[in-house]
A and B are shown apart, each in its own frame.
Chain A
Amino acid sequence: MRSLCGTLLDSLARSGQAVAVVDHRAAGSPLIFVNAAFEQLTGYRDHEVLGRDWRFLRSADADPAAIAALEAAVAEARPVTVELRDVRKNGEVFRDRLHITPIHDETGAAVFLLSMHSDVTVEPDRPESGSRPEALHEQPGVATEHARRAGTVSRASGGWEWDVPGRRLYADARFAELYGLAPGAAAGGLPTDTFFAPVHPADRMRLRIAVAGIMHGADIFAKEYRIINPDGSVRWVAARGSSRRGADHELLSFEGILTDITDQKRVEEQLRIVQTAGGVGTFEHVSGFGTVTVSDQFCRLLGLHACEALPVRTVNAVVHPDDPPLIGGQDDDSSYREFRVVHPETGEVRWLARRGEHRDEGHALGVRFIGAIYDVTAAKEAQEKLRQFAETLEARVRERTKERDRVWNNSRDLLAVVGEDGILRSVSPSWTEILGYRPDELAGRHAFELLHPDDVAMSQAAFRAAVHDHGLTDFETRLLHRDGTTRWTSWHTSHEDGLVFAYGRDITLEKARAEDLHRAEEQLRQAQKMEAIGQLTGGIAHDFNNLLQAVYGNLDLIRRKPQDSTRVGRWAENGLQAAERGVKLTAQLLAFSRAQRLELRPVAISALLRGMEDMLTRTLGPMVRATFDLLEGEHGVFADPTQLEMAVLNLAINARDAMPEGGHLTIETRLHSVVHDLELAPGGYLALRVIDDGIGMPPEVKARAFDPFFTTKDVGKGTGLGLSQVYGMVRQAGGATRIESTPGKGTAVTLLLRLAELASGAALSGEEGRADDTTAKAATVLVVDDDPDVRCFLANSLATLGYLVVEAKDGHTALQALDEANPDLMLVDFAMPGMNGAQVASIARTRRPDLPIVFASGYADTAEIDAVGMGTAVLRKPFRIEELEAAIVSALARD
Chain B
Amino acid sequence: MIGTSIALEELERDALTELVNIGVSRAAVSLRTMVGEQVFLSVPSLQVVDRVMAAALIRERECDSLIAVRQDFEGAFSGRALLIFPEANSLELVRAVTSGELSGKEAQEIEEEALLETGNIVLNGCLGTIANMLRKPLTISLPQLLRGDSQQLFNVSTSLTDHGVVLFLYINFAISDRDIRGYIAMIMDLPSLQTLKVLIAEFIEHIIGPEGVAHEG
Does A464 count as interface, using CB distance less than 8 angstroms? Answer: no
Stretch in A200-208, A394-402, A511-519, A802-810 touching the partner: A200-208
Instruction: Determine the residue in chain A with the shortest Cβ distance to B88.
Output: A290
Please measure, in the bound complex, the distance between the C-alpha atom of A215 and the C-alpha atom of B10, giving whole angstroms. Answer: 21
Does B14 count as interface, using CB distance less than 8 angstroms? Answer: yes
Contacts of B22 in A (CB 8 A): 213, 216-218
Please measure, in the bound complex, the distance between the C-alpha atom of A193 and the C-alpha atom of B215, giving whole angstroms. Answer: 11
CB < 8 Å neighbour of B63 from A209, A249, A314: A314
Check A206–B61 contact: CB distance below 8 A: no
Stretch in B52-60, B102-110, B138-146, B157-165 touching the partner: B52-60
Stretch in A43-51, A304-312, A381-389, A624-632 touching the partner: A304-312
Please measure, in the bound complex, the distance between the C-alpha atom of A204 and the C-alpha atom of B62, giving whole angstroms. Answer: 36
| Residue from the set A7, A209, A212, A305 with the largest chain B CB neighbour count within 10 Å | A209
Check B216–A311 contact: CB distance below 8 A: no
* Distance between A224 CB and nearest chain B CB, rounded to angstroms: 12
Does A164 count as interface, using CB distance less than 8 angstroms? Answer: yes
Does B2 count as interface, using CB distance less than 8 angstroms? Answer: no
Residue-wise interface mask of B (126-160) relative to A, using a CB-CB cutoff of 8 A (1 in contact, 0 not): 00010001000000000000000000000000000
CB < 8 Å neighbour of A205 from B28, B42, B212, B217: B212
Does B208 count as interface, using CB distance less than 8 angstroms? Answer: yes
Check A204–B212 contact: CB distance below 8 A: yes
Does B43 count as interface, using CB distance less than 8 angstroms? Answer: yes
CB < 8 Å neighbour of A310 from B14, B21, B38, B60: B60
* Distance between B89 CB and nearest chain A CB, rounded to angstroms: 11
* Distance between A882 CB and nearest chain B CB, rounded to angstroms: 142
Does B25 count as interface, using CB distance less than 8 angstroms? Answer: yes
CB < 8 Å neighbour of A314 from B11, B26, B53, B60: B60
Residue-wise interface mask of B (36-50) relative to A, using a CB-CB cutoff of 8 A (1 in contact, 0 not): 001011110000000
Does A483 count as interface, using CB distance less than 8 angstroms? Answer: no
Check B43–A216 contact: CB distance below 8 A: no
Check A310–B61 contact: CB distance below 8 A: yes
CB < 8 Å neighbour of B207 from A164, A216, A221, A311: A216
Does B68 count as interface, using CB distance less than 8 angstroms? Answer: no
Check B63–A218 contact: CB distance below 8 A: no
Check A164–B217 contact: CB distance below 8 A: yes
Does A714 count as interface, using CB distance less than 8 angstroms? Answer: no
Check B212–A216 contact: CB distance below 8 A: no
How extensive is the interface on chain B, given as a class?
35 or more
CB < 8 Å neighbour of A219 from B28, B177, B207: B28
Instruction: Determine the residue in chain A with the shortest Cβ distance to B63.
Output: A313
- Summarize B's interface: helix, strand, loop or mixed: helix
Contacts of A213 in B (CB 8 A): 18-19, 21-22
CB < 8 Å neighbour of B43 from A7, A211, A212, A222: A222
Please measure, in the bound complex, the distance between the C-alpha atom of A733 and the C-alpha atom of B120, giving whole angstroms. Answer: 139
Check B56–A344 contact: CB distance below 8 A: yes
Contacts of A212 in B (CB 8 A): 18, 207-208, 214
Check B21–A220 contact: CB distance below 8 A: yes
Please measure, in the bound complex, the distance between the C-alpha atom of A313 and the C-alpha atom of B208, giving whole angstroms. Answer: 44
Does B204 count as interface, using CB distance less than 8 angstroms? Answer: yes
| Residue from the set B21, B56, B57, B133 with the largest chain A CB neighbour count within 10 Å | B21
CB < 8 Å neighbour of A305 from B29, B42, B60, B177: B60
Contacts of A311 in B (CB 8 A): 61-63
Instruction: Determine the residue in chain B with the shortest Cβ distance to A313.
Output: B63
Contacts of A249 in B (CB 8 A): 29
Residue-wise interface mask of A (473-499) relative to B, using a CB-CB cutoff of 8 A (1 in contact, 0 not): 000000000000000000000000000
Does A345 count as interface, using CB distance less than 8 angstroms? Answer: yes
Does B15 count as interface, using CB distance less than 8 angstroms? Answer: yes
Check A210–B53 contact: CB distance below 8 A: no
Please measure, in the bound complex, the distance between the C-alpha atom of A216 and the C-alpha atom of B214, giving whole angstroms. Answer: 11
Check A208–B60 contact: CB distance below 8 A: no
Instruction: Determine the residue in chain B with the shortest Cβ distance to A250.
Output: B217
Check A206–B217 contact: CB distance below 8 A: no
Check A317–B14 contact: CB distance below 8 A: no
Does A432 count as interface, using CB distance less than 8 angstroms? Answer: no
Contacts of B60 in A (CB 8 A): 304-305, 307, 310, 314, 344
Please measure, in the bound complex, the distance between the C-alpha atom of A313 and the C-alpha atom of B14, giving whole angstroms. Answer: 31
Please measure, in the bound complex, the distance between the C-alpha atom of A208 and the C-alpha atom of B212, giving whole angstroms. Answer: 8
Contacts of B61 in A (CB 8 A): 307, 310-311, 314
Instruction: Determine the residue in chain B with the shortest Cβ distance to A316.
Output: B63
Check A206–B56 contact: CB distance below 8 A: no
In the complex, the number of residue pairs spanning A and B with C-beta atoms less than 8 Å apart equals 94
Contacts of A211 in B (CB 8 A): 214
CB < 8 Å neighbour of B18 from A218, A243, A307, A345: A218
Does A192 count as interface, using CB distance less than 8 angstroms? Answer: yes
Check A206–B11 contact: CB distance below 8 A: yes
Check B25–A217 contact: CB distance below 8 A: yes
Contacts of A210 in B (CB 8 A): 14, 18
Check A218–B25 contact: CB distance below 8 A: yes
| Residue from the set A192, A219, A251 with the largest chain B CB neighbour count within 10 Å | A219
Contacts of B214 in A (CB 8 A): 208, 211-212, 215
Contacts of A313 in B (CB 8 A): 63
Contacts of B28 in A (CB 8 A): 219
Please measure, in the bound complex, the distance between the C-alpha atom of A211 and the C-alpha atom of B18, giving whole angstroms. Answer: 9
Given contacts A210-B14, A344-B56, contact A215 B21 (CB under 8 A): no
* Distance between A304 CB and nearest chain B CB, rounded to angstroms: 5
* Distance between A390 CB and nearest chain B CB, rounded to angstroms: 39
Please measure, in the bound complex, the distance between the C-alpha atom of A208 and the C-alpha atom of B10, giving whole angstroms. Answer: 13
Residue-wise interface mask of B (193-217) relative to A, using a CB-CB cutoff of 8 A (1 in contact, 0 not): 0000000000010011000111011
Give chain A interface residues in 109-123, CB to chain B under 8 Å: none
Give chain B interface residues in 154-182, CB to chain A under 8 Å: 177
Please measure, in the bound complex, the distance between the C-alpha atom of A209 and the C-alpha atom of B29, giving whole angstroms. Answer: 21
Contacts of A192 in B (CB 8 A): 216
CB < 8 Å neighbour of B129 from A206, A209, A217, A314: A217
Instruction: Determine the residue in chain A with the shortest Cβ distance to B52.
Output: A345
* Distance between B18 CB and nearest chain A CB, rounded to angstroms: 3
* Distance between B12 CB and nearest chain A CB, rounded to angstroms: 10
* Distance between A248 CB and nearest chain B CB, rounded to angstroms: 11
Contacts of B38 in A (CB 8 A): 7
Given contacts A220-B25, A345-B56, contact A209 B204 (CB under 8 A): yes
* Distance between A12 CB and nearest chain B CB, rounded to angstroms: 15
Check A209–B216 contact: CB distance below 8 A: no
Contacts of A215 in B (CB 8 A): 207, 214, 216-217
Contacts of B21 in A (CB 8 A): 213, 218-220
* Distance between B24 CB and nearest chain A CB, rounded to angstroms: 8
Check B25–A209 contact: CB distance below 8 A: no
Contacts of A206 in B (CB 8 A): 10-11, 14
Contacts of B56 in A (CB 8 A): 305, 344-345
Please measure, in the bound complex, the distance between the C-alpha atom of A222 and the C-alpha atom of B213, giving whole angstroms. Answer: 20
Please measure, in the bound complex, the distance between the C-alpha atom of A314 and the C-alpha atom of B60, giving whole angstroms. Answer: 6
* Distance between A615 CB and nearest chain B CB, rounded to angstroms: 127
* Distance between A199 CB and nearest chain B CB, rounded to angstroms: 11
Contacts of A204 in B (CB 8 A): 212
Please measure, in the bound complex, the distance between the C-alpha atom of A628 and the C-alpha atom of B207, giving whole angstroms. Answer: 150
Contacts of A219 in B (CB 8 A): 21, 25, 28-29, 41
Instruction: Determine the residue in chain A with the shortest Cβ distance to B64.
Output: A313
Give chain A interface residues in 322-345, CB to chain B under 8 Å: 344-345
Given contacts A217-B25, A311-B61, contact A205 B41 (CB under 8 A): no
* Distance between A168 CB and nearest chain B CB, rounded to angstroms: 12
Instruction: Determine the residue in chain A with the shortest Cβ distance to B213.
Output: A193
Q: What are 6 A-B contacts defined by CB distance under 8 Å?
A: A205-B14, A215-B207, A218-B25, A219-B21, A219-B29, A251-B217
Return the 10 tightest CB-CB contacts between A and B, nearest first.
A213-B18, A219-B25, A313-B63, A212-B207, A218-B21, A217-B22, A218-B22, A218-B25, A222-B43, A209-B14
Given contacts A220-B41, A220-B43, list 12 more A-B pairs with CB under 8 A.
A206-B14, A208-B214, A209-B14, A210-B18, A215-B207, A215-B217, A216-B18, A217-B129, A218-B18, A218-B21, A307-B60, A344-B60
A residues near B, CB below 8 A? Answer: 7, 164, 167, 192-193, 204-206, 208-213, 215-222, 243, 249, 251, 304-305, 307, 310-311, 313-314, 317, 344-345
